[in-house]
Chains A and B, each alone.
Chain A
Amino acid sequence: MSDNDTDDVRTDGSGTGIVSPDDETPAWSERKERTQGLSRLTYEYFERARREDQDLRQQSDYVERDVLAFPAWPHEMMRNIALTSFFVGMILFVSATLPPEMPNPANSGVTPAIILPDWYLYWSFGLLKLGPLNPELSILGGSKLMADRTYGVLANVVVVGFVAIVPFLNKGSARRPVEQPFWAAVGMSGVIFSLTIAALSIKNLVPMDSHLLFDLTFLVPIVSATITYAVLKTMREGYMFDLNRRYYRLRPPK
């Protein structure tokens, strides 16, 4: 960082974005310089290292550019061999110490009373049971546009697709749920829905009427979203009140 950068206030997201409110308030670097003891020593050490690095860069005629990668041989290859050997060794070790049980071949003439996927797949399994939401279209003479199983797979595609595009959405600058109660409520309804749809997938084990359970699967997320929204809104009011009170205490209005 060159010297003139410290005075520059950047609006493009780079830099710390921390701006002193006035000339009397110390800047972050000034605070660092004022500290004592170990933190002071650490600061000086890092500052000196940074300074030396900067000097070296400026003196050399090396064209500064991004490092694309390390060479495949030997750097990457040695690392990969080391990692591979470790994990192969772990597999051999675990298989030698805990030899797998070899049960009887499956009997296709019997199905166990409880037959479910692993628990972390319940939500997906539940999405396959959305047959009652598959509309019977009058334009098709009361028949369904697609089979219930196709519908369930499409429901999975929709949910997984939505989760997959979340990283590509601009999520704004909010860091806490109170800052955006609406989207926090939407997220909360998603979390609750993942639980209720999991409960729906094991509807034959849940001691509840299965039609009621089906309705609750979709109602409980909406209710929880409403509660979340109300609570966060209230919390935000409280924070605002606190902030305002402190602000006015520090600087009473004229």
Chain B
Amino acid sequence: MPLDEDKYPAETGRRRFVKGVVGSAALSSVGVGGAAAVDATTDAAGEGGGTTPFVAVENTAGPAPRGMPIIPIEINGGEISGLWPDYDENAGAALASDFGGSGIDYSSQWFQYCGIQSTEAVYPQSERNNTFLNDTGTFSWQGEYDSGEPITVDMFEDYQDWGNGIGDSGVGKPASAVWRTNSEGKNGAPVQIIRSVEVEKMANGEGEYANLPGNVQSFVSEATDQGFIAWLNKCTHFCCVPGFKTQEGSANFGGANAIYCQCHQSVYDPFSPVQSTFVALPRPPKTE
């Protein structure tokens, strides 16, 4: 006789039957409930998104999967602003087909990653301020100007020899900005701008930039002006905000003259535009 025979009720046919019924009911309710919960929480609502070709500042080192998207700029009366094309019904996004004759479609879907897609800033139809507004705190020179002031060309007069002790001087003068803010100047997307001699060469296809692919070269010459280049400043790895010459430690990872992300040491080369493809996330549907 086993020692523990009196511990448990004896196994009977009826008991086995009840156990089977109760067990299968519990299992199926867990299954149905789980499916309902997954369905409710992952409802694939959203607009736009999908495979999107884009032009990026190249990711040269670190864990980031791809470069950060370049924002074409235009300069009006000295004020620098990012280009935001008109909404295209068919594309479901703000779209500039064959941007500047480069053969590349510039689309608001370029910026639909890292949670930016759910902000009002990149909603294609929303009326926002496309001017780059001064974002103080990152570069000390920007503290001389008010926060939220439009960034203008004359702030960059010393761009040919500007330096802040990180890397070499004269590579370019960077600025942090917010883009597509609301009427109160809030809730914009983080952007960095560089004015550099390199960008001027890039636009003209001079020197080492003569080897750029034709469509990328013509895109860049359309998207930059007077040596200014801008990109959406969100690391494609885990959505931190990197920077050009913002971190002392960037030299250890070859990022002193490049865009360096302090979180996981990704490095982007702002003077190396590349065409690449990513899967843009859908925007949440607009409720009003």
What is the interface of chain A, defined by CB distance below 8 A to chain B?
65, 68, 108-115, 129, 131, 147-149, 203-205, 209-210
Contact = CB atoms under 8 A, between A and B. Distances in A.
B213 interface: no
B63 A204 contact: no
Contact of A108 (B115, B249, B253): B115
Interface residues of B, number: 25
Interface of B: 3-4, 6-7, 63, 65, 115, 135, 137-138, 178, 188, 190, 240-242, 247, 249, 252-253, 261-265
Contact of B137 (A110, A114, A115, A209): A110
A21 to B, nearest CB: 37
Contacts of A147: 65
Nearest to B177: A109
B198 to A, nearest CB: 25
Contacts of B247: 113
Contacts of A113: 247, 262
A115 B262 contact: yes
B63 A149 contact: yes
Contacts of A209: 252
Contact of A204 (B3, B190, B242, B265): B265
Chain B facing A: main interface SS: loop
Contacts of A114: 262
Nearest to A112: B262
Chain A facing B: main interface SS: loop
Nearest to A114: B262
Contact of A115 (B4, B135, B249, B263): B263
B137 A204 contact: no
Contacts of A149: 63
11 contacts: A65-B3, A65-B6, A65-B7, A108-B241, A110-B190, A110-B241, A111-B241, A111-B261, A204-B252, A204-B265, A205-B249
A109 B249 contact: no
Nearest to B246: A113
B190 A109 contact: yes
Contacts of B265: 203-204, 210
Contacts of A210: 252-253, 265
A250 to B, nearest CB: 48
A68 B3 CA distance: 13
7 shortest interchain CB distances as A-B pairs: A109-B190, A111-B240, A111-B241, A204-B249, A115-B263, A148-B63, A113-B262
Contacts of B190: 108-110
Contacts of B263: 111, 115
A115 B237 CA distance: 14
Contacts of A204: 249, 252-253, 262, 265
A110 B138 contact: yes
Given A110-B138, A111-B240, A204-B249, 5 more contacts: A65-B4, A111-B241, A111-B242, A112-B262, A149-B63
A109 B241 contact: yes
B179 to A, nearest CB: 10
A42 B266 CA distance: 69
Contacts of B252: 204, 209-210
A114 to B, nearest CB: 7
Contacts of B3: 65
A57 to B, nearest CB: 16
B262 A111 contact: yes
A65 B5 CA distance: 11
